[in-house]
Structure 1
Amino acid sequence: MEHVKALLIKFVMVTAAVWVILGLFYGVDLGEILTISTLLTIAAYIIGDLFVLPRYGNMTAAVADFGLAYIGIWMIGSVVINENISLGWASFSTALVIASAEVLFHFYMMRRVLTQDQNRSQIQQNPAFSTEMAEETDIHREDHDQPPPRP
């Protein structure tokens, strides 16, 4: 149930960002905005929030969400948007707004949706190196039963 709530929050957030930039500034239709928002929300939730965020943290996931939003809006927009707009700049500015909002959304995801087991990193960021210490056995010594003398 928490994933459904998180998806709805993310969909509203992405739709608002896409509507403000593409709808108000570039005159893109509502149907095109909803198509872009739906596809982008699903892809960003699976890739950015469920895969990248638990393993690499908030800022890495926000950067990944920026790249995904930029490329996603540009690719989806080139297919569904009928207006003649500067799609590169529109994608960049929309992705910037989405990535800024994603930083806050990731705090919600880490506190409410991702449990402690899911939040643990699969790849250790700072692995602790330890060395096993043991005394060497001298096989040439006559008294094998006695411990070696201490220096």
Structure 2
Amino acid sequence: MQHWKAVLIKFIMCFAVLGLVLGLFFGVSFANILILSVLLTVVSYIAGDVYLLPRFENWGATLSDFTLAFVAIYLLGSFLFETEVPLATASLVSSAFLAVGEYFFHKYMAENVLDGHAIRSDEEKELIHQKLQAEYSEELNKGIPEDREK
């Protein structure tokens, strides 16, 4: 049930941002905004919020959502938008506003839907860092003359 609520919140956010940016400033039709909002909501929720957010935390997931939104709006816009729309500008502005909303949406996801598992504690970060440390032992010095060690 929590996932459906999160998808609805994400859809409302996407539809509002795309409606304001693409509808008001670039004259994109309501139907095209609705289609783009549905597709972007589904793909970015599965890829960014469910898969990437627990692995890369908020900033990584927000950056991936920005990139996904830019590419999706640019590519789908080239097929859907009937009017002369500067696709790069429209995609960049829409993606930037969506990324701001995604940053706060990811905080909601981490606390309410993913039960806080998406944000690593300082202890978990330290354990990960310790696992990546290299070991050094005297066995690696065999065959090296003493004067080279100094």
Counterpart of 2:34 in structure 1 is 34
Shift of 1:81: 1.0
CA distance in 1, matches of 2:20, 2:115: 33
User: What per-residue deviation string (whole Å, max 9, x for no partner) do you get for residues 38-85 of structure 1?
Assistant: 000001001110111000100111111100000010111111111111
Shift of 1:120: 7.5
Counterpart of 2:104 in structure 1 is 104
CA distance in 2, matches of 1:17, 1:25: 11
Shift of 1:12: 0.3
CA distance in 2, matches of 1:120, 1:11: 23
CA distance in 2, matches of 1:46, 1:105: 14
Shift of 1:4: 0.2
The number of equivalent residue pairs is 129
Shift of 1:2: 0.3
CA distance in 2, matches of 1:109, 1:96: 20
Distance 1:120 1:88, change over 3 A: closer
* Rg comparison, structure with higher value: 1
Contact 2:57–2:118, Cα closer than 8 Å, also in 1:
no
Q: TM-score, normalised by structure 1?
A: 0.79
Structure 1 or 2: more helix by fraction? 2
CA distance in 2, matches of 1:120, 1:13: 22
Shift of 1:115: 2.9
Q: TM-score, normalised by structure 2?
A: 0.80
Percent identity between the two aligned chains? 38
Distance 1:109 1:78, change over 3 A: same
Contact 2:74–2:91, Cα closer than 8 Å, also in 1:
yes
* Structure 2 SS opposite 1:85: coil
Matches within 5 A, 1:1-150: 1-115=1-115, 119=118, 126-129=128-131
- Mean Cα displacement is larger for which, 75-84 or 85-94? 75-84
CA distance in 2, matches of 1:98, 1:115: 23
In structure 2, runs of 5+ residues without a counterpart are: 135-150
Distance 1:120 1:97, change over 3 A: closer
In structure 1, runs of 5+ residues without a counterpart are: 132-151
